[in-house]
Amino acid sequence: MNETWNEDALLSALDPDPIRDLVASAFRRADPDGERAAQVFRETFDQLYDGQHTGRFRWDQLFKTEKTHYGTLLEINLRREFDDVIDDGELLDYRVVGHDIDCKYSQTLGGWMLPPECFGHLLLVATASDAGNTWSLGVVRAKDENRRVSENRDGKTSLNKRGRTQVDWLHYDAELPPNILLSLSEETLETVLAPKSGQARVTQLLRQVTGRRIGRNTIATLGKQADYMARVRDNGHGARTVLRREGYLIPGGDYAVHRAVARQLGVEVPQDGEVVSVRVVPAKPDEPWTVELEGRHWRAARDGEVVSVEAPRLPKTKK
């Protein structure tokens, strides 16, 4: 939380504003747990990184001009995802429940720049940090009492202290879908990035990082080919084939039967476009967190446990 923000801004009573409440309610009904919005923030970061072609996966790897483009991409991506809530605006970016609303993004909380045309109107304000693994989205009215008196040469200003207390937060400091490469230790990241071939990098990641959801953009960043998910497949040379010999299962979130395997093993359950790698050992039928595959029970290997048995094949996949 930066110096322009404090807990009072989250605890203060909101001014009465029936239209703001209608707009906020529309978003809450459409996305009560924030899952849809979180995915938009994640995909917007990944869109800027363009890891499949550039190998980038961190905010500090972007050029300054690319960073300033995040807000525009987020506005477009939110409009596309929430087409059940958002229409094209007449005066401003969006129209929600019959009222114009401007979409504003800032890399810092409270740093939204407000042009004169949005004065008096509602704002959908957003911020996110990939390094901090957080995002926030709220609704506020840019009325006189909520704006700074000072303006820049373009007539733009920002919310004042009072205005920052008047944000109706749909989600505040919510968790982003994972960017696994950011969470790795320096030593592990170096090991993953060391191989020259994309296949070897993907295989090394799935060997090093177990029990955690890994998104398709991470696979694309390491694999660096058009059909990057081929790096994972059980196709004779993909990670599933290579690592099965070392005792690894790699369920994919695109398939219900794979998600069931992860759930039974007690590891993170991959979602659409994600995989999770888990090293398994034979288990007794009455042990907890086991799955039956190829006529035998299996459980996740414990830390330091020696694995000397080839893992089973995953069930045939159906959506």
Q: What is the 3-state secondary structure (H, E, C) of 48-82?
A: HHCHHHHCCCCHHHCCHHHHHCHHHHHHHHHHHHC
Class at the top of the CATH hierarchy for domain 8-175: alpha beta
Which 8-state DSSP code applies to residue 256?
Answer: H
Pairing assessment for the beta strands 134-141 and 122-129 based on DSSP bridges: antiparallel
| pTM summary value | 0.87
Segment 121-158, tens digit of pLDDT: 999 999 999 999 999 999 999 999 999 988 887 889 99
Class at the top of the CATH hierarchy for domain 180-300: mainly alpha
Segment 5-46, tens digit of pLDDT: 565 666 568 999 999 999 999 999 999 999 999 999 999 999
Q: Is the pLDDT of residue 319 over 70?
A: no
Segment 245-292, tens digit of pLDDT: 999 999 999 999 999 999 999 999 998 889 999 999 999 999 999 999
Give residue 3's pLDDT band: very low, low, confident or very high (50, 70, 90): very low
The tokens of 221 are what?
């960043």
Mean pLDDT, the chain, rounded, equals 93
CA distance 11 to 260: 41
Cα–Cα distance list, 207 to 9, 196, 248, 253, 273 (Å): 44, 16, 8, 18, 19
* Cα angle for residues 231, 235, 241 (degrees, 5° grid): 80
* Cα angle for residues 33, 87, 126 (degrees, 5° grid): 45
Structural domain spans, the chain: 8-175, 180-300
Q: Is the pLDDT of residue 318 over 80?
A: no
List of residues 6+ apart from 298 with CB closer than 8 A: 249, 265, 280, 281, 282, 283, 290, 291, 292, 311, 312
